[in-house]
Structure 1
Amino acid sequence: MNHVRIADLAACLGQEITIKGWLYNARSSGKLLFLEVRDGSGIVQAVVAKNAVSEEVWNQAAALTQESSVMVTGTPREHPKRPGVYELDVRELDIVQLAHDYPITPKEHGIEFLMDHRHLWLRSKRQHAILRVRHEVIRAVRDFLDNDGFILADTPVLTPAACEGTTTLFELDYFDDGKAYLTQSGQLYNEATAAAFGKVYCFGPTFRAEKSKTRRHLTEFWMVEPEVAYATLDDMMTLAERFLSFIVARVLERRKEELKLLERDVTKLEAVTPPFPRLAYDEAVKMLRAAHAEGALDHDFEWGGDFGAPDETYLAQQFDRPVIVHRYPAQVKAFYMEEDPERPEVALCLDVLAPEGYGEIIGGGQRMQSYDKLVQRIADHNLPREAFEWYLDLRKYGSVPHAGFGMGIERCVAWLCGLEHVRETIPFPRMLYRLRP
């Protein structure tokens, strides 16, 4: 028995092979049965002709139900009217398990029902397309960074202190050592490995106990974070646009069919090429205030605040590609952000805002280099100094300008796929009111 994946059928035309999978759908036309069989790599139409198989095989084929597991043996051939599409002429069929009352039927289901059955919803064509795009994004991330001289240096999931603020930490008891927290970011540890290797990145799950129910938020998500020694804010803006442009180009090149199935307007993605517009926070505030005065925004904006979703959406709508907003007020950014030497009230930071209302997908900037200033900043933020002594060491032993950023995979995938909500961009989303399945 020559077991072949559906994705590899083109190399096996005219040979007898076996597909191991599940019944996706079926229809009958008199003495022909058309079985849509999926195996994870694709879907093929398996044609059962009553006069070409035994009565037992015919009856087995006719008895198949949605999502029954089955092994189908036959000969693949090209579809007579659809070049590049293949069918399987069936000779033998073995039912591994006959499924009964599969809950997700070919009718409209509500999102809560589908989320409750997420473990089964993953089998649908739409979810396959989204998660294949996710896979391509992750592969592109690794290829870009690996080929650009970065070293993967993964960072702890369990940490002794906060990185992005103490109000969004998941806390747990850590043996006899007191409290520990699920990481919000690997960035602090990235700074240590960057001082060892020069160019590093970490890539893994991060956690935010943020009581948010917006379409952009998950409590558990995956983030890639490059960090570079002897790098400045300008270096990070250039890296971010190169990085993001590479990812978009890769997805456009390799996931055309998935984007087509998702009905994504790829012309909007084709515009994503360097250079990206760069917009100082001050200029962004002027744009928002002017928009309010003209009635384009229903709220005014005061200098010193962080942007909300409507603000980010409006700013991004003014450009045909991602826009980099830089030099936010220091008061709205993390304690470790370097201040602008010419304007200490603003930080050397950046956010990359995606077009079409998808908001921030990259955030980062230059890290504080001075030991004394970092000590003061930790105190200003009421953070426990003892938890950061190791981090302060990085400013005592060979401190240099250094910078980095983080990109959330789920937000990036939502944007590339044109999705309304990030919940479909990860196999099992964790949200404020969802911990199952």
Structure 2
Amino acid sequence: MKITISEVSKYVGQEVKIGVWLANKRSSGKIQFLQLRDGTGFIQGVIVKSEVSEEAWNIAKELTQESSFYVNGIVREDHRSPSGYELTVTDLSIIQITEDYPITPKEHGTEFLMDHRHLWLRSSRQHAILRIRNEIIRATYEFFNEHGFIKIDPPILTGSSAEGTTDLFHTKYFDRDAYLSQSGQLYMEAAAMAFGKVFSFGPTFRAEKSKTRRHLIEFWMIEPEMAFTDHEESLKIQEQYVSFIVQSVLKNCRMELKTLDRDISKLEKVQAPFPRISYDKAIELLKEKGFDDIEWGEDFGAPHETAIAESFDKPVFITNYPASIKAFYMKPDPDREEVVLCADLIAPEGYGEIIGGSQRIDDLELLKKRYEEHNLTDPAYEWYLELRKYGSVPHSGFGLGLERTVAWISGTEHVRETIPFPRLLNRIYP
């Protein structure tokens, strides 16, 4: 019976056939231990010389790293194995013998591994990280579908910047200028006015010349937008969503977390509600921690976010930033116009901001004023103004960066390992 490694628990004591690659092997005289993978998981195959044909034994001896073959064997329970199962090999059928596979079990430099990213994906560590990524994506769809959201796909080519910045990838759209999308948010606001609660999930692009471990040039965003929803209601959705995806990973990716040596006790604490701290209090906290140069009105960098997060064992919301350092569309606090109704969600353990969100301006005249203040005279923004002209309502939304979230939950230091083929300042290969 042909199965996958992920299905072996259903076939204990039975003989099965699996298409596999050889990840590694070792020999102990008359026994060979084959580390096998098939894309769904890893399992050890044990081949005993006295229990198989001479041909099968010799085939096993020929196998090199990443050779592909079909293996027949009997599934056994083995509590010493990470998966809990082992395969007693009865026969082998070669598909291809690989020669000179470049990524060996020895240590390799990061640049070498990135140059061979198409092969590095096969390693147990990269496999675990990207399976956790997949679980976060799966749980995202489950959460928003169960909460009445509709998925809407915003365009990737746009005629303007979502946030009025200059860090854009420019291209020609026939006879006019166009840009790769920085965010689908403005379009999601339009969709929310049609469907109430919506979310998008897609690639975004920032031409930001940053080389930090938190930045990618191309990354994926989950961007919900909600009509008839104020800032406080949005914060509750955010903490429920993040709690849900963390608990889903804990439930469905135990083996992957173990492969990565992730301290799951820290993830188990991630349950709504999350602590909150105002921007004002954050400034005070930073000064107490020795950041004497930080002044009110300045944005926070990675060291500041890390220092703030150290005071909490859950993700923490920093709320009510100065309007001067936030996007033009954020609604001012009715009680204090110099700050806006917004929040950044900072992950624990030094992983930084994973969510940025706010209540949006719903007043047409105020938004026109913000346009003028930010020099947004481009006709490409006219449609966005019209959302406030025809049936405007209070509405809020947020954006979660997938790769930073994967890095935090999986315990991966650099976001380049949390996306299959990272695009960095100095890398567009492979």
TM-score range, shorter chain: over 0.9
> Equivalent residue for 1:334?
327
- 2:328 and 2:370 in contact (8 A); partners too: yes
- 1:350 and 1:365 in contact (8 A); partners too: yes
For the structure 1 residues 197 and 87, does the alpha-carbon distance in structure 2 shift closer, same or farther, using more than 3 Å as the test?
Answer: same
RMSD over aligned CA atoms reads 1.5
Identity of aligned residues (%): 59
How far 1:56 sits from its partner (Å)? 2.2
Q: The residue matched to 1:4 in structure 2 has which SS?
A: coil
Q: Is the aligned partner of 1:362 residue 2:361?
A: no
> Equivalent residue for 1:396?
389
For the structure 1 residues 282 and 251, does the alpha-carbon distance in structure 2 shift closer, same or farther, using more than 3 Å as the test?
Answer: same
Paired AA for residue 318 in structure 2: V
Q: Is the aligned partner of 1:411 residue 2:409?
A: no
How far 1:267 sits from its partner (Å)? 1.6
- 2:129 and 2:418 in contact (8 A); partners too: yes
How far 1:54 sits from its partner (Å)? 2.5
How far 1:334 sits from its partner (Å)? 0.8
How far 1:84 sits from its partner (Å)? 6.4
Inter-partner Cα distance in structure 1 for 2:80 and 2:192: 56
Paired AA for residue 220 in structure 2: W
How far 1:279 sits from its partner (Å)? 1.1
- 1:379 and 1:385 in contact (8 A); partners too: no
Q: Is the aligned partner of 1:249 residue 2:247?
A: yes
Inter-partner Cα distance in structure 2 for 1:138 and 1:80: 31
Inter-partner Cα distance in structure 2 for 1:385 and 1:376: 14
For the structure 1 residues 9 and 432, does the alpha-carbon distance in structure 2 shift closer, same or farther, using more than 3 Å as the test?
Answer: same
Paired AA for residue 234 in structure 1: E
1:27-426 to 2 correspondences below 5 Å: 27-79=26-78, 85-176=84-175, 178-292=176-290, 297=291, 299-426=292-419
How far 1:262 sits from its partner (Å)? 1.1
How far 1:238 sits from its partner (Å)? 1.2
For the structure 1 residues 184 and 47, does the alpha-carbon distance in structure 2 shift closer, same or farther, using more than 3 Å as the test?
Answer: same
Deviations 1:291-332 (A, max 9, x none): 22xxxx3x5211111111111111111111111111111111
How far 1:398 sits from its partner (Å)? 0.1
Paired AA for residue 145 in structure 1: F
How far 1:82 sits from its partner (Å)? 5.7
How far 1:15 sits from its partner (Å)? 2.7
Structure 1 unaligned residues grouped into runs of 5+: none
- 1:288 and 1:300 in contact (8 A); partners too: no
Inter-partner Cα distance in structure 2 for 1:54 and 1:80: 28
Inter-partner Cα distance in structure 2 for 1:81 and 1:435: 41
Inter-partner Cα distance in structure 2 for 1:23 and 1:245: 37
Deviations 1:379-415 (A, max 9, x none): 2212233101111110110001100000001111111
Deviations 1:244-265 (A, max 9, x none): 1111111112212211221111
- 1:325 and 1:352 in contact (8 A); partners too: yes
Inter-partner Cα distance in structure 2 for 1:75 and 1:274: 45
Inter-partner Cα distance in structure 2 for 1:47 and 1:84: 15
Paired AA for residue 132 in structure 2: V
Deviations 1:338-358 (A, max 9, x none): 111221111111101111111
How far 1:25 sits from its partner (Å)? 0.9
Structure 2 unaligned residues grouped into runs of 5+: none
- 1:57 and 1:93 in contact (8 A); partners too: yes
Q: Is the aligned partner of 1:21 residue 2:14?
A: no
Q: The residue matched to 2:389 in structure 1 has which SS?
A: coil
Q: The residue matched to 2:388 in structure 1 has which SS?
A: coil
For the structure 1 residues 436 and 81, does the alpha-carbon distance in structure 2 shift closer, same or farther, using more than 3 Å as the test?
Answer: closer
How far 1:6 sits from its partner (Å)? 0.7
- 1:223 and 1:406 in contact (8 A); partners too: yes
Given the two structures, how large is their TM-score scaled by the length of structure 1? 0.95
Q: The residue matched to 1:382 in structure 2 has which SS?
A: coil
For the structure 1 residues 39 and 223, does the alpha-carbon distance in structure 2 shift closer, same or farther, using more than 3 Å as the test?
Answer: same
Q: The residue matched to 1:372 in structure 2 has which SS?
A: helix
Inter-partner Cα distance in structure 2 for 1:84 and 1:403: 44
Given the two structures, how large is their TM-score scaled by the length of structure 2? 0.97
For the structure 1 residues 344 and 255, does the alpha-carbon distance in structure 2 shift closer, same or farther, using more than 3 Å as the test?
Answer: same
Inter-partner Cα distance in structure 2 for 1:67 and 1:73: 18
